[in-house]
Chain A
Amino acid sequence: MTTTEPRIMPMGMAINEAMDVAMGLDEKVFLLGEDIAEPSGGVYKITKGLSTKYGTDRVRKTPISEAAIIGAAVGAAIAGYKPVAEIMIMDFIGVCLDQITNHAAKIRYMSGGQTTVPMVIRTSAGAGRGFGAQHSELLEAFAVHSPGMKVAIPSNPADAKGLLISSIFDADPVLFVEPMLMYWDPTYAGEVPAGDYRVPLGKANTVVEGKDVSLISYGRQVHTCKKAAEELAAEGISAEVIDLRSIVPYDEAAVMASVTKTKRAVVVHEAVTRCGFGAELSSRIHEELFGTLAAPVQRVGGKNIPIPYASNLEKAFLPQVADVVAAVKRTNK
């Protein structure tokens, strides 16, 4: 009998491994983006080593041209490739939004299914590093509002690997949002299965089981919810934490089952609250479970402001554990 050491790694390494596995499995998988090849291997080192292993044809450094990057990925995907395009920081999506919403998202429909766009847009996002208003934002709602796009946002290294491999081999375009703060922070490291490990899109994970309130989240804010659940437990409130893992498609059945059980829900994400995915989710819960709910669904998200630079203001922008706890209490009035 052989035993193996548990494979504990940070999310950045898990994402690298996902691309390595996918490229090894299928020669149609290739990467393109700014600075992604050696010697830098990306500004966050997420593609480190891959251009050495697979060559610069398949790990392509691009000009700083986001529209050209996404456009090239769209064309290559239609032609049978599985491109993984990196947009260094999510705020830069604004530069290439036309290629995402008008082209990647709509081409399957506009062509009546004759052409498809199996590509991934990887992008890093999140406040908390003092990068200011244009290098910190979560903009997943843009893509959620574009039928044709899928959106995944992992909360831990294993999911990051499993969701990314699934996304690369998905038949449709996926916006894959990587929480920047979790890349190399050892406190977020976790065990990651080896090899071709996949987590399907649209399948939520119940991170903490509970019976009094459902905390529904995705990405780094799942951890805020976990901490809130611990504080609430000390007060005798049993909170269930649901990690959606992908928001298009999202696991509506899991959400409704949880809220049917708890009768209370708080939706938590880092993107600004106004018109965020939480608004959609809250609305859906009300539509389906109005008579069951003991209280209105509460939303906790980023404040409706550009992200400030000064660390005290930046922190105030972000959802805090105390915000989640307070929202839960509003459902218990």
Chain B
Amino acid sequence: MATTNRPDAPDRDALLRMFEIQQKIKTADERFRAMLTSGQVQLIYYSPRGQECISAGYAVHLRPDDYVVTIYRGLHDHIAKGVPMRELWAEFLGRGTGTCKGKGGPMHVTHPKSGLMVTTGIVGAGIPIANGFGLASKLSGTDQVTVVNFGDGASNIGAFHEGLNMAAVWKLPVIFVCQNNLYGEHTPMAMSTGVEYISERAASYGMPGVTVNGNDPVAMWKVAGEAIERARAGEGPTLIEARTYRFWGHLMGDAMEYMPKEERKAAMAADPLPAFRAWLLDNGHANEAQLAEIEDQIKALVDDAVDFAMNSPEPSMDELYTDVYEEIIK
């Protein structure tokens, strides 16, 4: 981030909320990776590290009754929408106290009380479902909005095309956030995608499309705010392409041989969170003691969540056949 102050920045309260969300994501992610690499836990883990500005940037605009849909790389979106840290950790670790009683796992975290409605493990599949939430809000006459997150790879699957077209035709209050981390699984975007910017695709649906630096929290906040405001006002959907980088490859354990070492090194050196922290301090939005206090509180929050999850029981075997249908059908 630039070291100078910015007239387009949100107020201090929003800035600190964004910092807090990003710090929660970073702290939780670091703990997951430490526990995985030390062998304390085993789970399928898609690190969101590097992409946290995006979630923070849209989430501060949302109300609890707004909807979020995300994908298997979704921890940052879960935290940003306010899924409680304890239940989130317990779900990731497959415990009966998790958001989904341990039956969904990291790829299917759901917490409607926070508005985190669907996490899907299928690339692009959340897009048509997000339209359903948007349609429900429209039919009910509320001004709720839905933010659906997906990657650059998802913009090449049919559901993206069907979903964006329908949202435009029906003017749905849905914000399509393409978190473009430049790779679809192990393939660089240039080898899979015929346009330089995913946002260009919006033109073919007759909806606004904008590319933003997803590592700049202020820019992301601004773009997301405009799209959310348009959606709330009944003016229809927006496609946001937030450019970013994933620090830890597709999946934990990924050898990342398809990501140039220098590229990754440069991206990690430009880590957006320390940059945001320095900018907050340099421009008088917060002082060191305030930020340190937030960081300490978050460390304690994550410590508590880890303890809670590690000490929680596995789901009861009575849960095996429940929640398939309302009644038990074997």
What residues of chain A have their CB less than 8 Å away from a CB belonging to chain B? Answer: 30, 57-58, 60, 62-63, 65-68, 70-81, 83, 98-99, 102-103, 107-116, 147-148, 150, 170-172, 248-249
Contact = CB atoms under 8 A, between A and B. Distances in A.
A60 B134 CA distance: 14
B94 to A, nearest CB: 12
8 contacts: A60-B170, A67-B128, A71-B125, A71-B163, A75-B117, A75-B129, A110-B110, A114-B111
B136 A111 contact: no
A67 B159 contact: yes
A144 B172 CA distance: 33
A76 B166 CA distance: 14
Interface stretch (B2-10, B97-105, B293-301): B97-105
B84 to A, nearest CB: 13
A107 to B, nearest CB: 7
A74 B118 CA distance: 10
B242 interface: no
B120 A102 contact: yes
Interface of B: 67, 69, 98-104, 108, 110-112, 117-118, 120-122, 125, 127-137, 139, 146, 158-159, 162-163, 165-166, 169-170, 319, 322-326, 329
B159 A71 contact: yes
Sorted nearest first, the 10 A-B pairs with minimum C-beta distance are A75-B132, A71-B128, A79-B136, A112-B100, A112-B101, A111-B110, A68-B162, A171-B326, A65-B162, A110-B108
Given A65-B162, A75-B146, 9 more contacts: A71-B127, A72-B128, A75-B136, A98-B125, A107-B118, A114-B99, A114-B100, A115-B117, A171-B326
Contacts of B162: 63, 65-68, 71
Q: Tell which of B162, B170, B322 has the most Cβ of chain A within 10 Å.
A: B162
A99 B126 CA distance: 9
Contact of B104 (A58, A76, A111): A111
A109 B103 contact: yes
B58 to A, nearest CB: 18
A103 B129 contact: yes
Given A99-B125, A114-B111, A115-B117, A148 B132 contact: no
Contact of A75 (B104, B108, B130, B329): B130
B136 A81 contact: yes
Contact of B134 (A75, A108, A148): A75
A76 B131 CA distance: 8
B133 A68 contact: no
Given A110-B108, A148-B324, A70 B136 contact: no
Contacts of B158: 67
B115 to A, nearest CB: 11
A78 B166 contact: no
Contacts of B98: 112
Contacts of B135: 72, 75-76, 81
A58 B135 CA distance: 11
Contact of B128 (A57, A58, A75, A80): A75
B168 to A, nearest CB: 10
A324 to B, nearest CB: 29
Contacts of A171: 325-326
A110 B133 contact: no
A110 B170 CA distance: 29
A19 to B, nearest CB: 17
A67 B161 CA distance: 10
A79 B133 contact: yes
A111 B137 contact: no
B271 to A, nearest CB: 33
B108 A71 contact: no
A113 B112 CA distance: 11
Contacts of A63: 162, 165-166, 169
A71 B130 CA distance: 8
